[in-house]
Structure 1
Amino acid sequence: MDRRVRASEKRRRLTAAAARVLHEQGIERTTLADIAREADVPVGNVYYYFKTKDELVRAALSEHRAHLDELTARLEESADPRDRLKGLVSAWVDRRETAARHGCPTGTLAAELDKRTDGTLDAEAGALIRHLLDWTAAQFRLLGLPDPDGHALTLVSAYQGMSLLANALRDPDVMTREGTRLLGWLDSLTPADG
């Protein structure tokens, strides 16, 4: 295998590991050694690819963005924007066990980063949430609903809330019950709604 391909693969493993470990343990509790162990890479190699923990956090945010882009691309295969939104809710519910253990990957990182005063990573986490809001609003807009941005905010807020509660209560059924409510809400919306 070519050296560049191996280096790219190693960086990719480190990025994926950073996203998982930072979500599971939080920024402050995670060490570079934790990420190296998860990626099955010698800890010294981490410094070759990422000079600081903040660079790893940025890579984790990039990984979360890639997952969101993959999900929305799959959802875009449906011609119906309502089905896309329902698919989004179903994808959230499918991750209920993870949410019950660790919360929403992006939401928990955003909350943790907001408490820091040493950088712009909180804004980058916010931009990722904004990306989800924009995609969601575009679906409501395609449905011809008034206030698509408001509907998007309601839907994404509901997801953040149900993820937080599932995590706080350690109860994945919170995601299932609230997901069912959201699906019913999406089915009830008509262009005359406001």
Structure 2
Amino acid sequence: MPHPLRQRAGRPGKRERLAAAAAEVFHRQGVEKTTIADIARAADVPVGNVYYYFKTKDELVRAAIGAHARTLDEMIAELDGLEDPADRLRAMVRGWTENRYTAAEFGCPTGTLATELDKRGDGLDGELADVMRALVDWSEQQFAQMGRSDSRELAVALIAAYQGISLLTNTFRDPELMEIEGRRLERWIDSM
């Protein structure tokens, strides 16, 4: 019999599943429309168990922000396996483009959550801003490694282009817009 405090190999624990489910359901439905029961169902956890890990919906929002941070860390770790900084940036853009159908339906997971949290005034928007800042900082490092003295401005422009095209792709429900912008961004990176 496995030790009760150890999770089964290959399957995240309930807390991690709830955090990931919260991030996904908030992306698809928005924070205000999402119930704790929605998150429990998506995580395959009995709704009563949710309160053992998270006492309030705001704690679930904070956990979703943590899930966004972990996703970003995993993406960066994978991209950092590439030798060339321009290759890393292009691979990031291709990853965005691969998710164009989800963006068309729901927008950018982090960007849409940021917009929603900004209206609440409870400080959680600042926590999510730290996640977005980490992406800008990483992008800045890539441009700096490419020898660019304007690396911060280029990083902001790249992330802004992605956020903008995510919004337009979602607004027009047209995934091709993101594909077109992705190709343009890759050419832009190549031109440096």
Q: TM-score, normalised by structure 1?
A: 0.94
1:4-38 residue CA offsets vs partner (Å, 9 max, x unmatched): 23597111211111111011101000000000011
Query: Aligned to 1:81, which of 73, 85, 109?
Result: 85
Q: Please report how far the alpha carbon of residue 120 of structure 1 lies from its aligned counterpart in structure 2 after TM superposition.
A: 1.3
CA separation in 2, counterparts of 1:162 and 1:5? Answer: 43
The letter of the residue matching 1:122 is D
The aligned counterpart of 2:119 is 115
Q: Please report how far the alpha carbon of residue 85 of structure 1 lies from its aligned counterpart in structure 2 after TM superposition.
A: 0.4
Q: Please report how far the alpha carbon of residue 2 of structure 1 lies from its aligned counterpart in structure 2 after TM superposition.
A: 2.7
Question: Once the two structures are aligned, what percentage of the paired residues are identical?
Answer: 55
Indicate whether 1:24 and 2:25 are aligned.
no
Indicate whether 1:182 and 2:177 are aligned.
no
**SS of alignment partner, residue 92 of structure 2:** helix
The aligned counterpart of 1:192 is none
CA separation in 1, counterparts of 2:96 and 2:72? Answer: 11
In the TM superposition, 1:1-194 aligns within 5 A as 1-6=2-7, 9-117=13-121, 119-189=122-192
Unaligned residue ranges in structure 1 (runs of 5+): 190-194
CA separation in 2, counterparts of 1:77 and 1:6? Answer: 29
1:46-96 residue CA offsets vs partner (Å, 9 max, x unmatched): 111001111111111111111111111111111100000001100110111
Q: How many residues are paired up?
A: 188
The letter of the residue matching 2:113 is L
The letter of the residue matching 1:116 is R
The letter of the residue matching 1:141 is A
Unaligned residue ranges in structure 2 (runs of 5+): none
The letter of the residue matching 1:82 is A
**SS of alignment partner, residue 4 of structure 1:** coil
Q: TM-score, normalised by structure 2?
A: 0.95
Q: Please report how far the alpha carbon of residue 103 of structure 1 lies from its aligned counterpart in structure 2 after TM superposition.
A: 0.6
